[in-house]
Amino acid sequence: MPSHCDFVFVCDKRWIDLKPTNVANARYCGDCRKNVFKVTSKDEMALSAALGRCAAVLPFEAVDAEAEDAQLILLDVRPAIVGMIAQDQNRGGNADVVLAVLLVPRTPLAMERRKELRRFFPWLFDGGRNELALLDGKSVRLRPMSLAQYELLERELRRGWDELRLQPVVISERVAD
């Protein structure tokens, strides 16, 4: 169970000072013009890393550090660390199933949604080839993720991104001893 994570960079912004958005776990940074996502579990931490999101990692501790799926308790008495989580934390860890996931546009992406998509999915909507492929109606392969991370992303897409869907492919399964 992680008690910390590695950051590509740590920002001097504070979670409490970022502008609230219409999404409960996201706040907006006017300096970098991206959303910052509050991380409350190891799967959310890995998903933020996989999507290239800036994250606010509040200090936390495990309820049961021995359980693989232990829930985390937020310790709000200390300030969050804001920054971008290092990529190597998105590989599925001790997951039973690791998925390769395609992000597939269901419908053409409206131009007015680009700004919003860039704030929520910076790795995909970065003005580069991934964004161009999605805007052209083509699928984009995401980084490998665990089933739990896939489910988090799928729930997020259902809450406001109807024009996007996920297509999972199992790339490895752990065999029971």
Mean pLDDT of 34-49: 85
Q: Please report, for the chain, the start and end positions of each structural domain, with discontinuous segments joined by +.
A: 7-88, 97-173
In this prediction, residue 20 carries a pLDDT of 92
In this prediction, residue 142 carries a pLDDT of 86
In this prediction, residue 138 carries a pLDDT of 92
Q: Is the distance from CB of 159 to CB of 121 less than 8 angstroms?
A: no
Q: Is the distance from CB of 147 to CB of 99 less than 8 angstroms?
A: yes
User: Residues 6 or more apart from 93 whose CB is under 8 A from it?
Assistant: 42, 46, 146
Mean pLDDT of 119-145: 86
In this prediction, residue 124 carries a pLDDT of 82
In this prediction, residue 19 carries a pLDDT of 93
Which carries the bigger pLDDT value, residue 61 or residue 100?
A: 100
